[in-house]
Amino acid sequence: MNQGKSTEEVTAVKPTVQIASSPQYHDRHSTARIMWTVSACLLPATIWGVYVFGVRALWVVLASIGASVLSEYLAGLPLRRFTLRDGSAVLTGLLIGMNMPPAVPFFIPVIASVFAIVVVKWTFGGLGSNWMNPALAGRVFVFFSWTRHMTTWTMPRTLPVPDGFSSATYLGIVKTGVAESTGATGGPLAFLRAANFPNSQLDTKVTDWLNTVILQPLGIDVPYGYVDPFVGNIPGSIGEISALLLMVGAVVLFAKKIITWEIPAAYFLSFGILTWVFGGTIYGQGAFSGDVLFHVLSGGFMLAIFFMATDMVTSPVTRKGLLIYGAGAGFLTFLIRTYGSFPEGASLAIILMNVFVPLINRVTKPSRFGVQKTREAET
C-alpha cells in the first residue's frame, strides 16, 4: 500500500488528533465580538435619544460608560485581570445610560454603573459568573434610591408642548389617569387625550394616510398616538423611546445569530396574550379588549425583550428553559404594569426571572447520555 514511501513520509501525512477538556464546540463569535456588536446595534437608538433630548443626554450616557469602564479597570487591578477589551463594561455602561431619564443628575448614572460592575459583576467573579444582569441591577438600584430623579422626564423637542403641560411618559400618564379615575374610557390612548398629551405632525399625517389609503377599505380606523412611540417622539429614557431603531438593531443581532428567537417570542406572546385578555379591564372595558400595540411600543419593552432579557450569562441554557424564562418575564411584566404601583415593569420582571434561572436549568436539563431510566416493572 505504501510502497516507495519511507516511514517518515507516511508519518508526516498521518492526521493528528488533539485531546482536550470540554467544551470542544467552537463558535466564531468571541466575547469581544458579541459585546461590541451589541453595543453597535444600540447606537442608533441612543443617537436618536440624544437628538430629541439634547446634548445633556449624551453626557449622561458618557458618564455611565466612563464610570463603568473605570470600575471595570479598578475591580480587575488587584487580580491583574484586564478585561476592558472584551467590551462588556462599555455595553453595561451604555445600557445604563440608555435607561436613564435625560435630565437625571450625573451622579446617579455613575453610581448605577459602579454598582453594576463592582457589586453585581465582580463580587461574583467577573464576566460569566454574575447571576443577575448588571445593567438592570444598576438601574433598579438607583431607581429605588432616587425615585424622584428617576421619574422626572423631558419632552422631546420633536413634540409641540402645550402651555402648562407637565411631562410624563406614556405609561405614567395612563397609570396616573387610572389611579385618579379621570373618567376617560376607551383604553390607554383615551387617557392620553384626556391629559392633552400632544401628537407630532408625523403621527397625524402617517395615521391619516394609513386610515385613508390602507385601513378604510378594511373597516379599520386607527387613532392617533401609535406612530410617535414607534418612531421615538415621546418622553422616556434616553435609549428606549424608539421602537423602530431598537427593532433594527435586533434584526442585526438575529442575522448574526447573537440572539435567538426563544426568549423574545415567549416574552412577547406571554405579555401580549395577557394584555389582550385582561389589559382592558382596568380601563372599564371587558376581557379581550386590551391594547397590545400601545403597551408593546411604550416604555422599555423593546429594549428589554431584545437586549436585556437575552443576556447569555443570566438566561437559561436549554431551549425549553429559554421559553419558560421568556414566558415568565412576560407574565411578570404584565402583572407589574397592570396591577402594580409602577407604570414600568420590564426591569423588575427580568431581574426576578434571573433568580429562577438556576432552577429552570435544573428542571430542563437533558438526560445524560448512557443513563437508563428505571423501569416501572422493576421492584
What is the pLDDT confidence band of residue 27, given thresholds at 50, 70 and 90? Answer: low
pLDDT at 288 exceeding the cut of 60: yes
pLDDT at 64 exceeding the cut of 70: yes
Residue with cell string 387613532? 223
Say whether 237 sits in a helix, a strand or coil.
coil
Q: Distance of CA 31 to CAs 17, 23, 62, 75, 137, Å?
A: 27, 15, 22, 19, 21
Neighbours of 270 (CB within 10 A): 20
CA angle (103 as vertex; 97, 105 as ends), nearest 5: 75
- Residue-wise pLDDT for 291-342, tens only, equals 999 999 998 999 999 999 999 889 999 999 999 999 999 999 999 999 888 8
* H-only helix segments in the chain: 7-13, 31-53, 55-76, 88-98, 107-114, 134-145, 147-150, 170-180, 188-194, 201-209, 227-231, 243-255, 262-278, 292-297, 301-303, 319-339, 346-364
The HSE-up count of residue 355 (CA atoms within 13 Å, CB side) is 6
The HSE-up count of residue 185 (CA atoms within 13 Å, CB side) is 4
pLDDT for the residue numbered 10: 47
Q: Distance of CA 334 to CAs 176, 177, 197, 271, Å?
A: 17, 18, 24, 6
How does the average pLDDT of the chain come out, rounded?
87
pTM of the predicted model as reported, rounded to 2 decimal places: 0.87
- Residue-wise pLDDT for 67-121, tens only, equals 999 999 999 888 888 888 889 999 999 999 999 999 999 999 999 999 999 999 9
Say whether 281 sits in a helix, a strand or coil.
helix
